[in-house]
Amino acid sequence: MFRDRVEAGLQLAEKLRKYQGDPGVILAVPRGGIPVAYAVAKELGFPLDVILSKKIGHPMNKEYAIGSVSLTDYFIIPHADVSQQYIENEIEKLRRKLKEMYHKFMGNKEPENLEGKTVIVIDDGIATGNTLLGTVNILKKSKPEKIIIAVPVASLHAIQKLRKEVDDVISVMIPEHFYGVGAFYEDFEQVSDEEVIFYLDKLRELKKTG
């Protein structure tokens, strides 16, 4: 059981020390992954960026994902009953929302260049891994050297699924009985936009003084 996301991040950082010598970049999944990633970035000295992606839903059922879109790329599983026009409209609409979110969190900062880097994707936990799969498929287009998924807690099912797609999956806890991510934290309050900005600002200040 973790006290909160920051404590979980400190424990996760210890498991990630083997990558400390790599040219690494940490990509945090907002909002819950930010306090975890803050602790890891502080310990390992890696730059931190946010990874923003949204699923593209099927026109007949928005919950059914047919792909994912990020700020710079997208990934689509072709469906005979889905038109190219629908996909283009969805990409444009979703990317507009992602740009607003990125600007809110990161200001005018350019996203990190991931080519040839060890990219560590951090969230506060993984239940199914389905959302992260879409993110990973987009990330691969940026040509990183390695993709590592790192979380404080994950289900065994999710770990097995993701291991087939990335170079490494690291989890501090892989419980035998998984009841949802929040069950393994004493404090699992929803992370607000203000908290996200607080942690990102704190990291920037450390960078300046360090």
Residue 170 has pLDDT above 70, yes or no: yes
Residue 207 has pLDDT above 90, yes or no: no
- Is the Cβ–Cβ distance between 74 and 142 less than 8 Å? no
SS3 197: helix
Closest CA to 55 of 111, 130, 141: 130
Residue 210 has pLDDT above 70, yes or no: no
What is the average pLDDT across 110-129?
93
**Which pLDDT belongs to residue 62?**
85
Residue 64 has pLDDT above 90, yes or no: no
Across 46-56, b (16+ Cβ under 10 Å) vs e yields bebbbbbbbbb
Same fold, 5-53+113-209 and 54-105: no
pLDDT digits (tens, 9 = 90+) for 5-52: 999 999 999 999 999 999 999 999 999 999 999 999 999 999 999 999
Residue ranges of domains in the chain: 5-53+113-209, 54-105
Long-range residue pairs from 12-17, CB within 8 A, at least 24 positions apart, any chain: 12/36, 12/39, 12/40, 12/122, 12/150, 12/151, 12/152, 12/170, 12/172, 13/39, 13/40, 13/43, 13/44, 15/150, 15/170, 15/172, 16/40, 16/44, 16/120, 16/148, 16/150, 16/170, 17/44
For 5-53+113-209, CATH number out of 3.20.20.70, 3.50.50.60, 3.40.50.2020, 3.40.50.300 equals 3.40.50.2020
Under the banding of pLDDT at 50, 70 and 90, the label for residue 193 is very high
* Distance separating alpha carbons of residues 76 and 91, to the nearest angstrom: 10
**Which pLDDT belongs to residue 108?**
87
What is the average pLDDT across 159-182?
95
* Distance separating alpha carbons of residues 203 and 175, to the nearest angstrom: 31
Closest CA to 156 of 190, 181, 128, 195: 128
CATH number of 54-105: 3.30.1310
Mean pLDDT of the chain: 93
pLDDT digits (tens, 9 = 90+) for 121-165: 999 999 988 888 888 988 998 999 999 999 999 999 999 999 999
Tokens, residue 48: 């931190």
Closest CA to 48 of 108, 120, 101: 120
Under the banding of pLDDT at 50, 70 and 90, the label for residue 83 is very high
